[in-house]
A = this chain, B = another copy of it.
Amino acid sequence: MKLVPLGDRVVLKQLEAEETTKSGIVLPGQAQEKPQQAEVIAVGPGGVVDGKEVKMEVTVGDKVIYSKYSGTEVKLDGEEYIIVKQSDILAIVK
């Protein structure tokens, strides 16, 4: 199964935030603040959204920073995704 976003939506997958402290202890994801970095999994077709032409500017595989309080969390086949509007993506990390 795969998610095919509509309009200007983008499907994201949050990047794992596994971090090694200076003393060498590995902190698993839950012990940290959720990172806002994610990978683009699928990109909607864009086009006229809410009466306005939207051109998609991200592509599958991009690492992106997205707005903390945006998007909808979705679970599919045990995996968690976030579906956001492209305008909630702030920047691409290169």
Contact = CB atoms under 8 A, between A and B. Distances in A.
Interface string A1-23: 11111110101000000000000
A26 interface: no
A55 B63 CA distance: 26
Contacts of A1: 93-94
A72 B83 contact: no
Interface in A20-43: 36, 42
Nearest to A89: B6
Interface size class on chain A is 35 or more
27 contacts: A2-B93, A2-B94, A3-B65, A3-B91, A3-B92, A4-B91, A4-B92, A4-B93, A5-B90, A6-B57, A6-B90, A6-B92, A7-B87, A9-B90, A36-B74, A48-B52, A48-B55, A49-B87, A65-B72, A65-B74, A67-B72, A68-B72, A72-B90, A74-B90, A76-B93, A83-B90, A83-B91
